[in-house]
Amino acid sequence: MSAYKVYLILIASLFTLSLSAQTSSSPSLVTHDPTEEAINLYNYINNISGKQTLAGQHSVPLLGSTRLPMVYRITGKYPALFGQDFGFSAPGDWDGINFRQSLVDEAIKRNNEGFIITLMWHAVPPTQDEPVTFSKSIQGDLTDKEWQELITPGTRLNERWKSQVDVIAFFLKQLQYAHVPVIWRPYHEMNGDWFWWGKKKGEDGYKKLYKMLFDRLVNFHGLHNLIWVFNTNEYKPGVDPLAEYYPGDNYVDIITTDVYTQGFDQENYDQITKLAKNKPIALGEVGTLPSPEILKAQPKWTWFMNWGDPGGKSFETYKDPQVITLESLPWVKIKNPTLHYPIIK
């Protein structure tokens, strides 16, 4: 029996307020008829908003979940969130597309252990075929003509884009069959100009692409286990305000931002809380962990996810009682987990 199913059975005794029911002040998931697991996870995130913050660790396809025991060796605790990427590069590479099935198997295994799963996708532009390189493809661009063709139904680029999305849907559907809710973080950092989907303004720009993806995954493929994230980059010179590309409340469950250079400044926090209204917010990627003082001053962050190798970084934040690690999640029975190893093949 998965940890989430155990959670459902014990939920009444764990909380005085049931997390399986929406409250009048909490937002509902934007996906119609969401899975029970997605509802419960989203309610849990809403419940901790303003009170506690989940610790997270991102990994890459080649490394499987090896960064999880690395964090454990440093802190004596596992992060609550396990993040991965569907990749784009040659088989056996850092971001190899051949690891996708192993990634799904790993996510199912970690979910059964109690980890919260968050996934992203450095998508290849529809003008190219996988595998590709990061700098020449993911960080490439589309001409205005190519972009218009992409968003126009029935065109060659639109059909190619749908085929690419369908590949990822195959793996996401496996997670739905396994009752794994997924915090889904597509087309991130769109307010910067370093990805092919970045700084595409107007209703026919990034907003259109995000809505197309939502429609393809939810309405065409019937994926109801996804919690949809709108993930910006921190606002700074050369990066547009966070609200510029927001597709609308009907397409977004959680709003996140990535912080690498601005030091968790108040301006970015104010922008994201204003945009989110009553929706949860989080730190999608961080180069360094927010300090306990930052979390106290900015309490609405529902999670942070360390990007990159844990080695050489300060993890003092893990000692903060405000921070939730794996053993503190209410559905996790094992309070002192032992080191584990990836199942990557």
Structural element, H or E, at residue 120: strand 116-121
Radius of gyration, CA atoms only, the chain: 19
Q: How many Å separate Cα 160 from the centre of its chain?
A: 24
Structural element, H or E, at residue 84: strand 81-85
HSE toward the beta carbon, residue 317, CA cutoff 13 A: 28
> Does residue 327 carry a catalytic annotation?
no
Q: Which amino acid is at 273?
A: T
Catalytic residue among 37, 106, 234, 285: 285
Comparing CA positions, the residue from 215, 195, 206 lying closest to residue 242 is: 206
d(CA 148, CA 217): 21
Residues found in the chain: 345
How many CB atoms are located within 10 Å of the residue 241 CB?
A: 14
Catalytic residue among 189, 203, 234, 267: 189
Contact 175, 107 (CB under 8 A): yes
> Does residue 113 carry a catalytic annotation?
no
d(CA 240, CA 232): 9
Instruction: For residue 106, give both structure tokens.
Output: 């790993």
Instruction: For residue 321, give both structure tokens.
Output: 């009682």
> Looking at the annotation, which residues are catalytic?
189, 285
